[in-house]
Structure formats: C-alpha cells, structure tokens
Amino acid sequence: MVLLTMMAVVTIGVVRLRNLFAVVILGGIYSFLMASVMIMLDAVDVAMTEASVGAGISTVLMLGVLHLTKMEEIKPAHTPLLPLFVAVVTAGGLVYGTIDLPPFGDPSGIIHQNVAPYYLQNSITDTSAPNVVTAVLASYRGFDTLGETVVIFTAGIAVLLLLKGRRPLPASGDGKAKSRTRRRRRRK
C-alpha cells in the first residue's frame, strides 16, 4: 500500500515535471517501486523482468532518445481534459472488472481448477522437465511459445533493417549530424 502510494506520487511527478532528464530518472524509480510491489505479490520472476527492462534497458534507451531531442518539454497546446476523461473511463471499466475476480491466492479459484492440477501431477512423466513452468511453456503450450518467438524474431529483424537504413544518412552531412556536433561543442 505504501509502495503504491509512492508510485502514485512518482507518476504525478512525471506528469508535472517539464525537465525530461528528471522524468527519465523518475521512470527508473517507478520501475524499481513496481518491482518491489511484484516481490510483495510473490512474483519474483516478473519483478526481475520489470527491474531489468524498466529500470535498466529503458532508462538507457530513453537517455539515448534524450540525446536527440531537447531537455525541456514544451507546454502542451491543447487541454488535457479529453485524455483525462478517456483514462478515467478506462480505469473505471478495469476496476469494475476486478470486482468479479476471486480473492488473491485463492486455491479454489476457477483458474486453478481447469488444467493446473493436471500439469502439476503429470508434467514430469509427460515431459521429464523438472520445472513445471518450463514444462508448461515449452511443451504444453509449445505452439504458443513458438508464435511469440516468431514475433520477437520479426521485430528484431525489422529493427536491424531500420538501423541499417539509417547508417548512410549522417555520412552525407545532413542536418541531423550537424546539429549533433553543434550540441557537443556547446556543452564543451
């Protein structure tokens, strides 16, 4: 609860602050708080992913983006009322959806009655994998995992193609390369 309050405070800070560098740092802080909440919910693997992706990689990526833009965010030209309304309606729908959920960690919930007992009892004899999560991901839902891997592979290829296409542009001396050197000189 305390952690969630702190996350809300950090979120308001992210919205209010106009210095993008501080916003990036606050995003890292938010990820670490989120990882702590995940640990409280006993989902350590999700917390590990959140910390590595949210606090590690995306902070570095955001800093790389910040290098290409300005440090200060300009004032928005339109009023934030319509986005606020959409967000509040969406959040209300999500909260309404959580009312029907079974209590957290309830072993008699519907989701724990369908196929989970079969997995827990037969995964070693079926797949001889000692970890049940591995058995479910790689064997019982193997096609699902294959599809995810194909999606990630395609995304990786697309990113590589984009980066390769970008490479010759700064060498021909266009505006972006010039502004980069100018900024570096100014910092000196």
Partner 1 sequence: MDSTIIYTVAAIAILASLGLAVFRALAGPTVFDRALAANAVGNGAIMLLAVVGFLAGRPEFLDIGILYALLNIIATLAVLKFFRYGDLGHAGEEPVD
Q: Which residues bind partner 1 (CB under 8 A)?
A: 2-3, 6, 9-10, 13, 21-22, 24-26, 28-29, 32-33, 35-36, 39-40, 42, 44, 47-48, 51-52, 55-56, 59-60, 63-64, 66-67, 183-184, 187-188
Nearer to partner 1, 29 or 138 (CB): 29
Q: Least distance from C-beta 106 to partner 1, angstroms?
A: 18
Question: Nearest approach, Cβ of 67 to partner 1 (angstroms)?
Answer: 6
The least CB distance from residue 72 to partner 1, in Å, is 13
Nearer to partner 1, 78 or 167 (CB): 167
Provide, rounded to whole angstroms, the least separation between the CB of residue 117 and partner 1.
Answer: 24
The residue (of 44 and 91) whose beta carbon lies closer to partner 1 is 44
Minimum CB separation of residue 70 from partner 1 in Å reads 12
DSSP codes, the chain: -HHHHHHHHHHHHHHH--BHHHHHHHHHHHHHHHHHHHHHTT-HHHHHHIIIIIIIIHHHHHHHHHHHS-SBPPPPSS-SHHHHHHHHHHHHHHHHHHTTSPPTT-TTSGGGTSSHHHHHHHHHHHH--S-HHHHIIIIITHHHHHHHHHHHHHHHHHHHHHHHHHTHHHHTT-HHHHHHHHHHHHH-
Q: Which is nearer to partner 1, 78 or 187 (CB)?
A: 187
CA-closest candidate to residue 34, choices 6, 12, 56: 6
Q: Between 66 and 138, whose beta carbon lies closer to partner 1?
A: 66
